[in-house]
Amino acid sequence: MINQQYACYQTPIGCLQMGYKGDTLVALKKAEAEGDNGNKTPLTEQIYQELLEYFEGKRQRFTFKYRLNGTDFQMKVWQALLEIPYGETSTYKAIAQKIGNPKAARAVGAANHNNPIMIVVPCHRVIGSQGKLVGYAGGLDMKAALLQLEENFIHKMTPEGKESLPSK
């Protein structure tokens, strides 16, 4: 069994810590403070580059290998999160209904809170039923910034979902 290692990178939304085992990302979270950068590898460099492309509006999906570990319920919630399109939102209640447990909105919130791979598994796209931003492990400021980033860039896409070329 390979022990989890980590690397930290500074991004436009703060310092992010990547936990990995071998060639697989197993955790991505906001680092509490800058400090030890950990062990940077070709995998963490790829993750960092793809995250930067996401922050620049050039990437909607990630290609690196990752693995989620959780309960059956958490796995259902996280799978539902992966199905929320870039630039769109859903609610905790809608996710609960989607996974066949319509009264589990609070449990969906708990699963979101325990999402080990923020941004990639887009728990930031889940909002309260009244349209309010509620709960996010990275803080509500980070959640708002991610949603705003996606909203800004989605309008620059063509109807086919491809990036439009900048006008000269």
Expressed as residue numbers, the domain containing 131 is 72-154
| CATH code at position 102 | 1.10.10.10
Question: For 14-54, what is each residue's pLDDT tens digit?
Answer: 899 999 999 999 999 998 766 667 889 999 999 999 999 99
Question: For 114-163, what is each residue's pLDDT tens digit?
Answer: 999 999 999 999 999 888 888 887 888 989 999 999 998 876 654 444 44
pLDDT of residue 64: 96
145 and 76, same structural domain? Answer: yes
pLDDT of residue 16: 93
Task: Give the mean model confidence (pLDDT) for residues 85-105.
Answer: 95
pLDDT of residue 163: 41
143 and 102, same structural domain? Answer: yes
Which of the following is catalytic: 13, 25, 47, 123? 123
Say how many residues make up the chain: 168
Name the pairing type of β-strands 90-91 and 126-127: parallel
123 catalytically annotated: yes
